[in-house]
Structure 1
Amino acid sequence: MTLALPPLVDHHCHGVLRRSPDAETFASYLTESDAPAAPGTSFFDTQLGFAVRRWCPPLLGLEAHCPPGRYLERRRELGTDEVTRRLLRASGTGTYLVDTGLPGDLTGPADLAELGGGEARTIVRLETLAEHTADAAHGPGLFLEVFDHAVTAAARTAAGFKSIAAYRHGLGLAPDPPTPNEVRAAAGRWLDARAPGGRLDDPVLLRHLLWSAVRTGLPLQLHTGFGDPDLRLDRCDPLLLTDFIRAVAPYGCPLVLLHGYPYHRHAAYLAHAFTHVYADVGLALSHTGARAGAVLAEALELTPFGKLLYSSDAYGLPELYLVGARVFEEALARLLDTWTASGAWSAPDGERVAHLLAAENARRLYGLGSAP
């Protein structure tokens, strides 16, 4: 079926590079690996690499699937701002919810909104907020006081919070809030051992961060499933969050399980079983490319249709915004064609669910109001 979708709400994304990358840097954004490609191979030879070559060259005046070298040459000819503007606007994204916790010379939410012709809100990454607090506040008492104020202040304007506890420790954290004495002791140990700019990986403090966000009532995004080799994938199964999910339920805080792959069916079960749990498969769809329909179909086996959200998880390259949108739309259209042709779904229901996934679920969850 032909989908007439509203402007997408990309509920989890990042900034893009302000300067044109060289060929090696560009290719590094086509993988979650933090290592170079194996000798004689290229990260362009991946599902994501092929998707970039399919969807992006025509926006720059080239034929689809043109060689990577020609594409990168054309990119340099046009300049970073022009390429970013073309690709973002062609993605059909109307709202960007931007995780600003990654380092580097990246565009912020306002820049994305201007270049993309949409609107943007901030998602506050808890670990980054705590680390910046530690850089400025000395001693455990002051650190905890300033962090608490920072969370309260952020909650006034942010669309939600985000945690990468999956990277820093894994998701098998104790589910309940730590006591004030436990938190203060953990803060003292961490600050005493921390080098300038050191990252937060203490499990007691990670729990404190999570519960600080939970108490605001804003949506809390949690990385689950695959990512770069800085994590242990076996510690990122969302089922490890089950007791935490139960403990959070009385607080009215929505939990959003990001990515999931290859545990996306586990995330779907949790969204099915718990009222306050939502899911997305954004990063998984881009990286599975031509197989994205299979992943999306598996996510839709159990996830209630009002609780699955669209995201691109784009980072660094504006190409990833376009690819995220196109892969999602194509995968969804093919699934709906199959399900409506068989009679399992009606065409009106298919259209309605498509609108839910593309934008309406996120608008409702994050309190964004009606589409502009």
Structure 2
Amino acid sequence: PPAPGAVHTAARCWLAAGAPRLTDPVLLRHLVQLAVATGRPLQLHTGFGDPDLRLDHADPALLTDLVRATADTGTDLVLLHCYPYHRQAAYLASVFPHVYADIGLTLTHTGPRAAAVLAEFLELAPFGKLLFSTDAYGLPELYVVGSALFRTALATVLGDWTASGAWSAEDARRVGAMIAADNARRVYGLSDSRADRTCG
């Protein structure tokens, strides 16, 4: 963690510059340290997204040192977006117990190839480490499109595995439920509102 004096100096410089995006390494280290100390899941944007990013700097594999440094903190790291580095994100999720990959935005932007990209995630990432989201914003239609693309891609991948005889229909349903909702409920500490209604 940076020294308090360095944080104050960096904050003054950043505020004086009026920069729209925080890029100062001292402030970033300070904020990441504070976030990790909360013990709550820390979401990290990786891969493509905003037009002002450098895509070659958005490869989640570049976070390996941070991932190692946070391994024993009790804080989960959730890699968002990931594409076109989804295999690197899946790899990190496979080798570090506290790393998860959110497939939101990736499937929405890959459209007709969504099933192929989801299958590539599943080549490396354990089923309990992938989380669904639409990553929708702005237009309500984006939530519908994101959900539909996910359902179609997941049904295609799991349907192929079931049709080949590699999986049972029960296994496919269980893994589908994990990725669609159960993993996110576990990572973010959310309750199942349906269970709450039946048990309450």
Fold conserved (TM > 0.5)?
yes
Q: What is the CA distance between 1:187 and its match in structure 2?
A: 1.9
Match of 1:220 in 2: 42
CA distance in 1 between partners of 2:176 and 2:127 (Å)? 9
The structure 2 residue matched to 1:300, chosen from 122, 129, 133, is 122
The structure 2 residue matched to 1:364, chosen from 168, 183, 186, is 186
Match of 1:337 in 2: 159
Match of 1:285 in 2: 107
Q: TM-score, normalised by structure 1?
A: 0.51
CA distance in 2 between partners of 1:346 and 1:317 (Å)? 38
Amino acid at match of 1:182: A
Q: TM-score, normalised by structure 2?
A: 0.92
Q: What value does the CA root-mean-square deviation take over the aligned residues?
A: 1.3
Which stretch shows the higher mean deviation, 202-211 or 232-241?
A: 202-211
Higher RCO structure, 1 or 2 (CA under 8 Å, sep 6+): 1
Match of 1:268 in 2: 90
> Would you say 1:207 and 2:29 are equivalent positions?
yes
Q: What is the CA distance between 1:198 and its match in structure 2?
A: 4.5
Match of 1:245 in 2: 67
User: How big is each residue's C-alpha offset from its partner over 1:88-144, in whole Å with a ceiling of 9 and x where there is no partner?
Assistant: xxxxxxxxxxxxxxxxxxxxxxxxxxxxxxxxxxxxxxxxxxxxxxxxxxxxxxxxx
> Would you say 1:189 and 2:13 are equivalent positions?
yes
Where do residues 54-69 of structure 1 align in structure 2 (5 Å cutoff)? none
Amino acid at match of 1:318: P
> Would you say 1:350 and 2:163 are equivalent positions?
no
> Would you say 1:313 and 2:135 are equivalent positions?
yes
User: How big is each residue's C-alpha offset from its partner over 1:296-327, in whole Å with a ceiling of 9 and x where there is no partner?
Assistant: 00001111101100010101111110010010
Count matched residues. 194
- In structure 2, runs of 5+ residues without a counterpart are 195-200
Match of 2:51 in 1: 229
Q: Tell me, what secondary structure is at the counterpart of 2:72? A: helix
User: How big is each residue's C-alpha offset from its partner over 1:159-218, in whole Å with a ceiling of 9 and x where there is no partner?
Assistant: xxxxxxxxxxxxxxxxxx223232223223223x333x8443212101111111110001
Q: Tell me, what secondary structure is at the counterpart of 1:251? A: coil
Q: Name the structure where helix makes up a greater proportion of residues.
A: 2
Amino acid at match of 1:180: P
CA distance in 1 between partners of 2:96 and 2:103 (Å)? 18
Amino acid at match of 2:4: P
Identity %: 67
- In structure 1, runs of 5+ residues without a counterpart are 1-176
User: How big is each residue's C-alpha offset from its partner over 1:319-340, in whole Å with a ceiling of 9 and x where there is no partner?
Assistant: 1100100100011101111101
CA distance in 1 between partners of 2:127 and 2:135 (Å)? 20
